[in-house]
């Protein structure tokens, strides 16, 4: 008589511990690959980023303050402290916009779109609020004796 065995269950993906190890390795590589703030943004003296994380019920989950000076390595991202376990917030675009527009104060935010667990339709919903305070170095003065264009915008011919 033939025996009937259950088929082995296929591995659904990495388990929680493997994801934790991967996130730690990713964080370490992001931290080591980033340059110093002064190299990326030469006119920024100091950057202070305040991050607040809220649950979907508006309960404060975590708060981080990053004070970055011109010669410090920088990271403009944070992991989601919500229920998903693998969400990620990236504020590098918000910082870039604030620096290019020379805003001393800027605020940004976002909601974690990761599902609570694999295959779930409900998302994490953790909210992140970011406050960016920037101290700029003074702009260099424009040269006073620079070449001037001839009147009328026409070049003089000899």
Q: Which band of pLDDT confidence, cut at 50, 70 and 90, is reported for residue 53?
A: very high
Q: Where are the domains of the chain?
A: 25-138
Token representation of residue 137:
């170095």
Entry pTM: 0.64
pLDDT of residue 32: 57
- The tally of CA atoms less than 13 A away on the side-chain side of residue 9 is 3
pLDDT of residue 13: 74
pLDDT of residue 143: 64
Top-confidence residue, 90 or 14: 90
**Rounded to an integer, what distance in angstroms lies between the CA atom of residue 129 and that of residue 65?**
12
Q: How many CB atoms lie within 10 A of CB 79?
A: 18
């Amino acid at each position: 008589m033939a025996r009937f065995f259950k088929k082995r269950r296929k591995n659904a993906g990495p388990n929680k511990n493997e994801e934790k190890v991967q996130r730690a390795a990713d964080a370490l590589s992001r931290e080591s690959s980033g340059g110093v703030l002064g190299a990326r943004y030469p006119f920024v003296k100091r950057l202070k980023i305040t991050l607040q994380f809220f649950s979907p019920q508006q309960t404060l989950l975590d708060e981080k303050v990053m004070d970055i000076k011109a010669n410090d390595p920088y990271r403009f991202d944070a992991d989601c402290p919500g229920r998903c376990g693998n969400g990620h917030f990236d504020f590098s675009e918000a910082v870039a916009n604030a620096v290019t527009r020379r805003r001393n104060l800027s605020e940004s935010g976002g909601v974690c779109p990761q599902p609570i667990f694999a295959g779930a339709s409900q998302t994490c919903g953790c909210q992140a609020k970011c406050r960016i305070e920037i101290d700029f170095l003074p702009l260099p003065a424009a040269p006073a004796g620079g070449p001037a264009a001839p009147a009328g915008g026409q070049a003089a011919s000899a």
